[in-house]
Structure 1
């Protein structure tokens, strides 16, 4: 009698699972960030899959367009990129200032791009500012993008932890005096002699 209700529950659970998997897999497609200032707009994309990780190189590129949809390649823009750890104050210097290079991605040719290695997980702001190169006719702009950086892969994290552990161990060995190293050996010998005496009495 309980067979059919349990089957319905199982089907509902499977359907929910499939929906969650589908949403999880589709999510990166909608992760591009878009900002507009004056008559210029840009879409930010981060490789891989808009999911940057701390300590790993990330390629960022900006699909710059002017009003009307015409692409602005890096050659037509005096652009600078600054990276800030959030939160930050307006007077605070940039954490990183990666150099921009022309990148061809998707249908865009020669757009601004940069390689960024975020030092640790957390929230960052990428600030792309620019003004037109000679004979170009768009207004100066500043575009700000919020980026969340995840922790690095397990391998990177493990290797960093191992390096830190080795450094601590070496430092501890260097700072310990010889008598501190000898004490455990003396204690062990003492325990062994007491044990030997007890054995002989018995």
Structure 2
């Protein structure tokens, strides 16, 4: 019993430790947070926000940063197109004001890499940066999200062409049967 209680405390402690991951690049750092409760679920909306700060702890608002977020399914190959590229918007979270955030629906459970990159609008204060965060998405609702570069309209076009071709084939077959059966009488 004591072992069970201790193991649950260790798991709880580890979950809390991983909840707010911090990454640093050049003289910019960011803490990532995912709602709900740092436990994203597939098929459900997840709010992601970044407490973006410069060296010394001063918060960098989104309006002062040309930031982009790209999300990749893991493992992925360098140069591969991002699975999701959500538009960042300015949000208020906890004690932070006007920080970068986005709402994302992860298509399936598993590991994802979130890549936050950018440079500040205040020249000379911050160098371009790139921050990588690994996120594990739990089971939720399954969702199909088209991959970048995927030809979405191809299947629909194929289905629209198939119906007339089937009808034409049926009419030609019927016509041939009628033509061949008539001389037999």
Aligned to 1:175: none
Q: 2:132 aligns with which of 144, 147, 150?
A: 144
Is residue 19 from structure 1 mapped to residue 33 from structure 2 by the alignment?
Answer: no
Cα deviation, residue 103, structure 1: 1.5
Q: Which runs of 5+ in 2 are unaligned?
A: 143-185
Give the Cα separation in 1 of the matches to 2:10 and 2:99: 30
Runs of 4+ in 1 over 2 A off after TM superposition: 15-29
Aligned to 2:168: none
Give the Cα separation in 2 of the matches to 1:63 and 1:143: 12
1:147-188: CA deviation from partner (whole Å, max 9, x where unpaired): 111111xxx46xxxxxxxxxxxxxxxxxxxxxxxxxxxxxxx
Aligned to 2:33: 45
Q: Which runs of 5+ in 1 are unaligned?
A: 1-12, 158-202
Aligned to 2:163: none
Give the Cα separation in 2 of the matches to 1:35 and 1:82: 16
Higher-helix-fraction structure: 1
Aligned to 2:78: 90
Greater relative CO, 1 or 2 (CA 8 Å, sep 6+):
2
Tell me the TM-score normalized by structure 2: 0.71
Aligned to 2:23: 35
Give the Cα separation in 1 of the matches to 2:127 and 2:50: 17
Cα deviation, residue 34, structure 1: 1.1
Q: 2:95 aligns with which of 107, 115, 118?
A: 107
Give the Cα separation in 2 of the matches to 1:103 and 1:20: 37
Q: Note the aligned Cα RMSD (angstroms).
A: 1.6
- The structure having more radius of gyration, on CA atoms, is 1
